[in-house]
């Protein structure tokens, strides 16, 4: 008989580890919800052209990593490799930008797919939490998003991460830099694919991780030397606002990011405890993306933080999250009458917001108590015929081992009071 396994480069999230991922998602989302960001959810697949135009024809994501397919109806679709283009498409389709209340601030969480070479910290299926602020050009908005990501990571107890910051200029000054960079790159010993990239988007060559290429990039022209006055002033204000917010950062003049749509502010969160896959998240401003996908001019900024990478960063720092107990009370019935009575009590506990579980399958006392231990419950609630005749249940403290009767008709209130 065939035993199926998860596809190569993917993984299953199962208890108890899955609780860490949920806690990380919640920690990242909490500062966003407190700052006016509303939740948005988009389909797991989109029209191929959305990503080809938005992410960029020259990116590895589009040329090598995107899962694209044709439907029975002849539509060309792709599993989403990133979140920004989908969220912007959804905002435009819903006319959120016409509400008169800009920026439109949205956050999202979900799975994304890229045909990567699987390794630790880089999977073909991965989880992200992202945020987008659509429709405003303001250094304070760029800074707000960086500060919120920093706040999320620090709320998890992380301290070993760094924020890298750069400016990619805009449509006014980037063409001048592009020409200078192309002139430099065309004099290097590059393979055919990389030479083609020099012609399409030379900034992407600066993001090449191969040592043979990186050695040759020493002495390449720097974008900072080609920024127009407006971009210099914008970038300087972002830096000043981060300093005023007491958020440390490092200037990285070669930071490009892997997507074509970025303009001006770009940033990355890296953790030195993760080896070569050090980026845990990042983002930047993408003022021209709306027009690329057929919308009006809508200057915007956003980021995505990797849940998988964040969990690895927590492990690298030896941080164990304080996770809520999945079960506080475990009910152990001894006999059919006790089964009915305890099931009603467990239902009452759950309705009162107490995490409670039940011994299913007719196990005996010994087997049921083993299940109670494995569940991590604080209390075991045990009842037999004699207990019910006396109108009580036996409440056992699983930490101290002490056991005491509680009245059946007030068991829910008594247990809630003890847990509080």
Token digits of residue 184:
């430099």
| Burial readout 90-103 (b: 16 or more C-beta within 10 A, e: otherwise) | bbbeeebbeeeebb
Q: What is the pLDDT of residue 182?
A: 87
Question: Please, what is the angle between helix 192-200 and helix 174-185, to 10°?
Answer: 160
Supply angle C-alpha 122, 124, 126, rounded to 5.
70
Look at 80 and 174; give whichever has higher pLDDT. 80
Among residues 326, 305, 317, 318, the alpha carbon closest in space to that of 18 is found at 326
Confidence of residue 190 (pLDDT cuts 50, 70, 90): confident
Q: What tens digit of pLDDT does each residue of 282-306 get? A: 999 999 899 999 999 999 999 999 9
> How crowded is residue 333: how many other Cβ atoms within 10 Å of its Cβ?
27
Confidence of residue 1 (pLDDT cuts 50, 70, 90): low
Binding positions: 82-84, 114, 128, 132, 257, 261-262
Q: What is the pLDDT of residue 59?
A: 65
- Partners of 129 in beta bridges: 109, 305
Q: What tens digit of pLDDT does each residue of 372-395 get? A: 898 889 999 999 999 999 999 999
Range name among 55-64, 175-184, 235-244, 315-324 with the lowest pLDDT average:
55-64
Listed in order, the ranges of the chain carrying CATH 3.30.930.10 are: 17-173+227-316
The winner for highest mean pLDDT among 23-32, 95-104, 255-264 is 23-32
Which whole number is the average pLDDT over 47-64? 77
Q: What tens digit of pLDDT does each residue of 308-354 get? A: 999 999 999 999 998 877 899 999 999 999 999 999 999 999 999 99
Confidence of residue 217 (pLDDT cuts 50, 70, 90): confident
Q: What tens digit of pLDDT does each residue of 152-163 get? A: 999 999 999 999
Q: For residues 343 and 332, give the distance between their C-alpha atoms in angstroms, rounded to a whole number.
A: 10
Which CATH number is 17-173+227-316 given?
3.30.930.10
Token digits of residue 119:
């390794």
Report whether pLDDT(58) > 70: no
Range name among 12-16, 167-171, 192-196 with the lowest pLDDT average:
192-196
Does 3.40.50.800 match the CATH number of domain 329-419?
A: yes
| Edge-to-edge strands, sheet with 45-47 | 45-47, 76-79, 68-70
Range name among 8-12, 215-219, 263-267, 408-412 with the lowest pLDDT average:
215-219
Q: What is the pLDDT of residue 57?
A: 63
Q: What tens digit of pLDDT does each residue of 72-131 get? A: 999 999 999 999 999 999 999 999 999 888 999 999 999 999 998 887 778 899 999 999
Contacts of 103 (CB under 8 A, 6+ apart): 133, 134, 135, 136, 141, 300
Listed in order, the ranges of the chain carrying CATH 3.40.50.800 are: 329-419
Peptide bond into 306 cis (omega under 30): no
Binding positions for L-histidine: 82-84, 114, 128, 132, 257, 261-262
Contacts of 316-322 with CB under 8 Å at 24 or more apart are 316/160, 316/271, 316/273, 316/274, 317/157, 317/158, 317/159, 317/160, 317/273, 319/156, 319/157, 319/158, 321/20, 321/23, 321/24, 321/156, 321/157
């Amino acid at each position: 008989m065939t035993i199926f396994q998860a596809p190569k480069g993917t993984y299953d999230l199962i208890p108890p580890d899955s609780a860490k991922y949920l806690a990380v998602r919640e920690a990242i989302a909490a500062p966003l919800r407190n700052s006016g960001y509303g939740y948005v959810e988009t389909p797991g697949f989109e029209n191929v052209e959305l990503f080809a135009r938005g992410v960029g024809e020259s990116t590895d994501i589009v040329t090598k990593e995107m899962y694209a397919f044709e439907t029975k109806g002849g539509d060309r679709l792709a599993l989403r490799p990133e979140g920004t283009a989908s969220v912007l498409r959804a905002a435009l389709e819903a006319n959120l930008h016409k509400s008169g209340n800009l920026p439109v601030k949205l956050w999202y969480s979900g799975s994304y797919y890229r045909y990567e070479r699987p390794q630790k910290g880089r999977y073909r299926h991965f989880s992200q939490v992202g945020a987008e602020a659509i429709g405003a050009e303001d250094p304070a908005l760029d800074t707000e998003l960086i500060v919120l990501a920093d706040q999320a990571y620090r709320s998890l107890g992380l301290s070993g991460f760094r924020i890298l910051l750069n400016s990619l200029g805009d449509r006014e000054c980037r063409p001048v830099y592009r020409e200078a960079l192309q002139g430099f790159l065309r004099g290097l010993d590059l393979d055919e694919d990389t030479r083609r990239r020099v012609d399409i988007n030379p900034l992407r060559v600066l993001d090449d991780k191969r040592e043979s290429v990186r050695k040759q990039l020493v002495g390449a022209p720097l974008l900072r030397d080609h920024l127009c006055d407006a971009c210099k002033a914008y970038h300087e204000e972002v830096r000043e606002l981060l300093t005023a917010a007491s958020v440390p950062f490092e200037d990285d003049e070669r930071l490009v990011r892997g997507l074509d749509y970025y303009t001006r502010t770009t940033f990355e969160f890296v953790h030195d405890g993760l080896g070569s896959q050090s980026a845990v998240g990042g983002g930047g401003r993408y003022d021209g993306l709306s027009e690329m996908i057929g919308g009006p001019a809508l200057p915007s900024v956003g980021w995505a933080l990797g849940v998988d990478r964040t969990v690895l960063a927590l492990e690298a720092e030896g941080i164990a999250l304080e996770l809520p107990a999945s079960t506080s009370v475990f009910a152990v019935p001894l006999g059919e009458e006790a089964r009915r009575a305890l099931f009603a009590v467990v239902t009452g506990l759950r309705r009162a917001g107490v995490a409670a579980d039940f011994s299913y399958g007719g196990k005996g006392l010994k087997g049921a108590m083993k299940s109670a231990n494995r569940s991590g419950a604080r209390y075991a609630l045990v009842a037999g015929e004699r207990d019910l005749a006396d109108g009580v249940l036996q409440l056992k403290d699983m930490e101290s081992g002490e056991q005491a009767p509680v009245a059946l008709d007030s068991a829910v209130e008594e247990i809630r009071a003890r847990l509080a």
